[in-house]
Structure 1
Amino acid sequence: MSEHLDPGYAAASASRRGTPRGGKDIAMLVLGAVLVGCVFGIALSQVFDTSGGESRQDTLDRVRDAESRAAELDSTRQDLSAQVDRARDDALRNDDRGTALLTDLRALEVAAGADSATGPGIVVTVAEPPAPSDLSDVSVPVRGSSDSAVLDRDLQTVVNSLWVSGAEAIAVDDVRVGPGVTIRQAGGAMLVDNRPVFSPYTVTAIGSPTRLEAQFSVSDAYLRMAGLAQLYRIGFATEASDSLSVPPAAVRAVTTAGQDEGR
Structure 2
Amino acid sequence: MTQSFRKTLGGYDPRAGRNAHEANRPTLIPVPSLLRSLLTEHLDPGYAAAAEARRVNEAAGRVRPWWQAWAWQLAGAALLVAVFAVAMAQARATAPGVRETQQVLADSVRTAETEATAATDRRDELAAQVDTERRSRLEGDARGQQLLRQLDEAGFAAAATPVIGPGLTITVTEPGASANLSDVSKQRLPGNRQVILDRDLQLVVNWLWASGAEAVSVGGVRIGPNVTIRQAGGGILVDNQPISSPYQVLAVGPSHTMQDVFDRSPGLQRLRLLEASYGVGVSVSAGDAVTLPAGSVRELNFAEPIGP
* TM-score computed with the length of structure 1 as normaliser: 0.67
Identify the residue that residue 128 of structure 2 maps to in structure 1: 82
Q: Return the match for 1:158 from 204, 210, 221.
A: 204
By relative contact order (CA 8 Å, sep 6+), the higher-ranking structure is: 1
User: What is the root-mean-square deviation in Å for CA atoms of aligned residues?
Assistant: 3.3
The reply on whether 1:130 has 2:185 as its aligned counterpart is: no
Unaligned runs of 5+ in 2: 1-92
Displacement after TM superposition at 1:129 (Å): 2.1
Aligned sequence identity (%): 39
2:212 aligned partner, one-letter code: G
Displacement after TM superposition at 1:228 (Å): 2.3
Distance change (3 Å), C-alpha of 1:95 and 1:174: same
Q: What do the CA deviations read for 1:204-251 (whole angstroms, capped 9, x no partner)?
A: 111121122122122221222222222222211211111121222234
Displacement after TM superposition at 1:73 (Å): 4.6
Distance change (3 Å), C-alpha of 1:251 and 1:94: same
Distance change (3 Å), C-alpha of 1:195 and 1:68: closer
Q: Return the match for 1:172 from 198, 212, 218.
A: 218
Displacement after TM superposition at 1:96 (Å): 4.3
The reply on whether 1:215 has 2:261 as its aligned counterpart is: yes
Identify the residue that residue 12 of structure 2 maps to in structure 1: none
**Residue correspondences, number:** 209
The 8 Å contact of residues 110 and 168 in structure 1, kept in 2 or not, is answered as no
Distance change (3 Å), C-alpha of 1:117 and 1:150: same
SS of residue in 2 equivalent to 1:150: coil
SS of residue in 2 equivalent to 1:131: coil
Identify the residue that residue 201 of structure 1 maps to in structure 2: 247
Distance change (3 Å), C-alpha of 1:63 and 1:257: farther
The reply on whether 1:120 has 2:166 as its aligned counterpart is: yes
* TM-score computed with the length of structure 2 as normaliser: 0.58
SS of residue in 1 equivalent to 2:155: helix
The 8 Å contact of residues 111 and 168 in structure 1, kept in 2 or not, is answered as no
Identify the residue that residue 154 of structure 2 maps to in structure 1: 108
Work out the CA distance in 1 between the residues paired with 2:137 and 2:262. 40
Unaligned runs of 5+ in 1: 1-44
Identify the residue that residue 148 of structure 1 maps to in structure 2: 194
Work out the CA distance in 1 between the residues paired with 2:251 and 2:116. 30
Distance change (3 Å), C-alpha of 1:217 and 1:99: farther
SS of residue in 1 equivalent to 2:206: helix
Matches within 5 A, 1:24-103: 64=111, 73-103=119-149
Work out the CA distance in 1 between the residues paired with 2:257 and 2:109. 51
Displacement after TM superposition at 1:59 (Å): 11
The 8 Å contact of residues 187 and 194 in structure 2, kept in 1 or not, is answered as no
Identify the residue that residue 4 of structure 1 maps to in structure 2: none
Distance change (3 Å), C-alpha of 1:57 and 1:198: closer
The 8 Å contact of residues 143 and 232 in structure 1, kept in 2 or not, is answered as no
Work out the CA distance in 2 between the residues paired with 1:190 and 1:220. 21
